[in-house]
Amino acid sequence: MRSEDIPLVDGHVPFVGKQRSFRCRLLLVGSGVLLVLGIFIVVLVFVLSAPPRPSESDLVSPGTLQGVQRVVSLTMGQNSTALYDRIAWLCDTYGPRFSGSQALEDAISGLRDKIQTEDGMQVLEEPVSVPKWVRGDEYAKMLQPRVK
């Protein structure tokens, strides 16, 4: 049935507008469903094509992993005070250690030697640039109460 064959009511073709709006809604809903379905398929393809997550053994060598596990168990084990004992020894033996000072160098060397002898671990030192703090000239000026 063509729209020309439908009788006019109050100068309008009845139901034709409603049919078109229903078709438009159906078309919009259908295209929305297709869009969501397309996005889902794209995400699914990316997820399925992603490489598998590497295990711990793939990231580090077995010797390194055993060393790390040993350090963690020595320092953070249940009822372990080894870490705090080592820090107390460092503070009691070497005292304050300002950056760039000889006390800091002595503390680093002493800690390295202690770890190598007591724990049997190899310690590698890497050179770093640490600026040395040098005290400058100090002065004070009283701002209040002002001089009259």
Per-residue pLDDT of 23-74, as tens digits, reads: 556 555 666 777 777 888 888 887 777 777 766 666 777 777 777 777 777 7
Q: Name the token pair of 17.
A: 């507008």
Task: Tell me if residue 26 falls in helix, strand or coil.
Answer: helix
Cα→Cα distances 17→14, 123, 133, Å = 7, 83, 85
Average pLDDT, the chain: 75
Domain ranges of the chain: 3-49, 56-119
Percentage of the chain lying above the pLDDT 70 cut? 72
Give the separation between CA 119 and CA 117, rounded to whole angstroms: 6
pLDDT for residue 8: 57
Contact residues for 16 (Cβ-Cβ < 8 A; gap 6+) = 3, 6
